[in-house]
Structure 1
Amino acid sequence: MKIKLTHIPKLKYFLLMLFIGLLSCEDDVREVYLYKKGELNATSTNTAIKGGETVTYTDSSTKVRAIKWTFPGGSPGASIEPNIEVKYTKAGTFTTTLEITFVDNTIQKKTFTVEVEAPPTPPIVIPADALKIYSENPDFTKTAPVLNWVSSNQFVIKEVAADGYEGAYRNFSLPATPPAAEAKWAMAILQFVNVTDISSYTYINMAVRTTSTGKIRFRMKDASNTGYVEFDATSNLYGLKRDGSWNMVKIPIADYKKQNPALDLTKIKDILVLRSVDPEDVRALNNYTFDFDHIYLSK
């Protein structure tokens, strides 16, 4: 058998190219990674605080598509930010929930618990020369004449034994289901048994708690004339907030007189009249609930 020598160079060339190709394949080798799921990782700075303090929550999860925090009892009550500072003002045990949606649309949740200690009660200071009207504070000796609490229209007045500004308190609220024939307005009265001269006093002070969103007037009345100040749900006028906490409200008595110059401060009969504001219909809103405590006049 004869081998043509002319084919030998071609064979050598083929083997050389094959060898080079095999060497180049080594450079093209790539590592293959399996998909790794995202991980939920979040922290909080505190598990026990005092009322009025804050907790910082931080999410550092991986492969996140969406974040949702909920903070019962805290402010703000919810967030979609990875880092958020939350303030707690009321005492209790509150559970925060973090919900993470990952890029593969799977969802995981994590909870945090915080114990909130009741904030310290501020000292209750009453001027010695105040006209003390109503309070359960044992140091609050009444100096005003005998009082009457009068349910006039729709408002029901009741005394509640505990959870007041300092003990018992008076609650003014509408019936849960007022009769259809009831008027659209509501009123209730705190009055002196005898007319009283309050002209030497500058302010009427009271602790008020409410979440009502309705307009309301605090009125003052002599034998025949009425003056009032009016509150809406957003102004926080004179310190009246609608946040569900006890707030001290301090109203200049001159503002009642400014609204009605005929009001005779030497002969006041009704020291506090709570009256809804027309044309609001209390039957539709049905959220007129006000708590009162610690009422006095100061100079």
Structure 2
Amino acid sequence: MTTKLNHIAKLKYLFAMLSIGLFSCESDVREVYLYNKGKLEATSTNTSVKAGETVTYTDSSTKVRAIKWIFQGGSPGSSIDPKVEVKYTKGGTFTTTLEITFVDNTIEKKTFAVEVEAPATPPIVIPADALKIYSENPDFTKIAPVLNWVSSNQFVIKEVAVDGYEGAYRNFSLPATPPAAEAKWAMAILSFVNFTDISSYTYINMAVRTTSTGKIRFRMKDAANTGYVEFDATSNLYGLKRDGSWNMVKIPIAEYKKQNPALDLTKIKDILVLRSVDPEDIRTLNNYVFDFDHIYLSKN
């Protein structure tokens, strides 16, 4: 009898414990949240601007650990700030890239494109009393005597139809691989057919484009005498830059006369002689390429 009672008591105890456990679990329920990834969100104020204007880029991403902007063609060129104002000074289509590193170390990128309108080209103004020598612009009516373009000692002269300062242009260049037996110097000439009096003019003006790193002389010659102005690759003397862009060069004619007082400006035959400078060896440098356009003499 005692054994049966003990068995019943144990069953009652077990049932009570189960009931307590069930009721206690029900009152201790916890909500479980899944992890939400960060989200890349960014904007730009413009997709098309004029040169000199700015675009503001703003990052508003969530759960960010690191930001990196790369601004092609802009200033600044990069940033780690969430909001950046970028200035564009040159024309073209440029890409901005935003790279976001989230707190879980995952990485996402977003790109923006911006069209930048190039600055307007300044109008070409030639003084009415200028001596116009060479240009393919129809508004540039040549009034100088007839010209001869003369290749001399390795320089090859050719006319190129497009991409000049204002249309076509003349290119003075060395052959890509001049034969080893040829001389180490090069020269080319733009000459008047008849002797020409330029003594009333003050400057010779010309558009020049080059990336040459060699020294070069621009010479003038009368019947027997030569005067020149020498340019190295770093001075930007009189506007002659080696940046691969068209630049207007304005050289005082007095500098030619100063270099050689015997030069007779009333009887000029060769108005522009392009000559490499000894002892430089053009066969070693091999980068003497000069483009010329828009050549004229002016009094001011």
TM-score bin (small chain): 0.7 to 0.9
Deviations 1:6-63, CA, capped at 9 Å, x for gaps:
xxxxxxxxxxxxxxxxxxxxxxxxxxx999988766655532233x424456575742
1:170 partner SS: strand
CA distance in structure 2 between the partners assigned to 1:76 and 1:213 by the alignment: 28
Q: 1:244 Cα shift?
A: 2.3
Do the aligned partners of 1:225 and 1:264 also contact (CA within 8 Å) in 2?
yes
| Partner of residue 46, structure 2 | 46
| Partner of residue 69, structure 1 | 70
| Partner of residue 145, structure 1 | 145
CA distance in structure 2 between the partners assigned to 1:36 and 1:175 by the alignment: 65
CA distance in structure 2 between the partners assigned to 1:159 and 1:233 by the alignment: 25
Do the aligned partners of 1:44 and 1:55 also contact (CA within 8 Å) in 2?
no
Do the aligned partners of 1:49 and 1:114 also contact (CA within 8 Å) in 2?
yes
Task: Give the 3 Å change call, closer, same or farther, for CA 189–96 of structure 1 in structure 2.
Answer: farther
Do the aligned partners of 1:137 and 1:167 also contact (CA within 8 Å) in 2?
yes
Q: 1:282 Cα shift?
A: 2.6
| Partner of residue 213, structure 1 | 213
CA distance in structure 2 between the partners assigned to 1:264 and 1:133 by the alignment: 19
CA distance in structure 2 between the partners assigned to 1:105 and 1:262 by the alignment: 77
CA distance in structure 2 between the partners assigned to 1:280 and 1:70 by the alignment: 41
Deviations 1:229-253, CA, capped at 9 Å, x for gaps:
1222332221222222222111110
Which of the two has higher C-alpha Rg? 2
| Partner of residue 178, structure 2 | 178
Do the aligned partners of 1:38 and 1:64 also contact (CA within 8 Å) in 2?
no
| Partner of residue 278, structure 2 | 278
Q: 1:116 corresponds to which letter in structure 2?
A: V
CA distance in structure 2 between the partners assigned to 1:107 and 1:279 by the alignment: 57
Do the aligned partners of 1:39 and 1:63 also contact (CA within 8 Å) in 2?
no
CA distance in structure 1 between the partners assigned to 2:107 and 2:231 by the alignment: 46
Do the aligned partners of 2:69 and 2:96 also contact (CA within 8 Å) in 1?
no
1:224 partner SS: coil
| Partner of residue 226, structure 2 | 226
| Partner of residue 204, structure 2 | 204
2:256 partner SS: helix
CA distance in structure 2 between the partners assigned to 1:108 and 1:284 by the alignment: 49
**Paired residue total:** 263
CA distance in structure 1 between the partners assigned to 2:141 and 2:293 by the alignment: 14
Taking the TM superposition and a 5 Å limit, the aligned residue runs for 1:1-299 are: 44-50=44-50, 52-56=51-55, 58=57, 62-64=64-66, 67=68, 69=70, 71=72, 74=73, 78-79=77-78, 82=81, 83=84, 85-90=86-91, 92-98=92-98, 108-299=108-299
CA distance in structure 2 between the partners assigned to 1:185 and 1:115 by the alignment: 45
Task: Give the 3 Å change call, closer, same or farther, for CA 238–274 of structure 1 in structure 2.
Answer: same
Q: 1:75 Cα shift?
A: 6.2
Deviations 1:177-233, CA, capped at 9 Å, x for gaps:
222223332221111112111111000011112222332221111122221112223
Do the aligned partners of 2:155 and 2:174 also contact (CA within 8 Å) in 1?
yes
What is the percentage of aligned positions where both structures have the same residue?
A: 81
Do the aligned partners of 2:161 and 2:169 also contact (CA within 8 Å) in 1?
yes
CA distance in structure 1 between the partners assigned to 2:163 and 2:262 by the alignment: 39
Q: 1:120 Cα shift?
A: 2.1
CA distance in structure 1 between the partners assigned to 2:286 and 2:167 by the alignment: 27
Q: 1:133 Cα shift?
A: 0.3
> 169-178 or 249-258: which moved more?
169-178
Q: 1:186 corresponds to which letter in structure 2?
A: A
Q: 1:118 Cα shift?
A: 3.8
Q: 1:97 Cα shift?
A: 4.1
1:217 partner SS: strand
**Unmatched segments (≥5 aa) in structure 1:** 1-32
Task: Give the 3 Å change call, closer, same or farther, for CA 40–178 of structure 1 in structure 2.
Answer: farther
Q: 2:248 corresponds to which letter in structure 1?
A: M
Do the aligned partners of 2:212 and 2:242 also contact (CA within 8 Å) in 1?
yes
Do the aligned partners of 1:207 and 1:246 also contact (CA within 8 Å) in 2?
yes
1:254 partner SS: helix
> 168-177 or 33-42: which moved more?
33-42
Do the aligned partners of 1:38 and 1:63 also contact (CA within 8 Å) in 2?
no
TM-score, normalised with respect to structure 1: 0.74
TM-score, normalised with respect to structure 2: 0.74
CA distance in structure 2 between the partners assigned to 1:110 and 1:285 by the alignment: 44
Task: Give the 3 Å change call, closer, same or farther, for CA 69–183 of structure 1 in structure 2.
Answer: farther
